[in-house]
Structure 1
């Protein structure tokens, strides 16, 4: 268990460090996940080394949504006063993500079929 947690939190730390040192606009946890993905792809780390710990985090992921939920309740007045721009941005970003993902998958598959 310690090995898996050390690997996961080590990549998180490295990502945070790179983000802070190079003043990157990408969050450190995202950089850490990207680095961990490359470590899997290039067989630097085996999936079995972190599989149990990752499953534990996924099973308990709902706990991570409590602070944002409290934040939404705390700032409900502000959210309500800005509902149109917020929901407009959500709808546009959802549609854009859906279209770009579909085009990217189509590109990877070699064009239309």
Structure 2
């Protein structure tokens, strides 16, 4: 378990250091995830050793939302002042994400249909 946790946290740390030191516009944890995915692609046997610990972590993933909930409760004053702007941003970003997802799907479908014919 310690090896798995140290590998996961090391990937995140390396990604964070790379993002901050190189001034990249990508969050460090995303770079760490890419590093982990690359490591799993290069060494597929690594997935078998990570699976037991990762399964336990994923089973308790809901605990990760507790700090976010505490943050929301801690900032209720800001939320009560700017609720309309936050609502507009949340709705518009959700709609935009859905439109982009549909557009991407349609584009990939067109590409795969033209290649198969």
Larger relative contact order (Cα-Cα within 8 Å, sequence gap ≥ 6): 1
What count of residue pairs does the alignment treat as equivalent? 112
1:21 matches 2:18: no
**How far 1:81 sits from its partner (Å)?**
0.9
Structure label with greater radius of gyration: 2
- Matches of 2:103 and 2:92 in 1, distance apart? 16
What is the TM-score of this pair, normalised by structure 2? 0.80
Paired residue secondary structure (2:24): coil
Aligned to 1:49: 49
Return the structure number with greater helix share: 2
> RMSD of the TM alignment (CA)?
2.1
Cα contact 1:15–1:28 (8 A) shared by 2: yes
| Structure 2 match to 1:30 | 30
Could you list the runs of 5+ residues in structure 2 that have no partner in the other structure?
none
For the pair 1:2 / 2:6, whether they are aligned, the reply is no
Cα 1:16–1:101, aligned 2, differ >3 Å: closer, same or farther? same
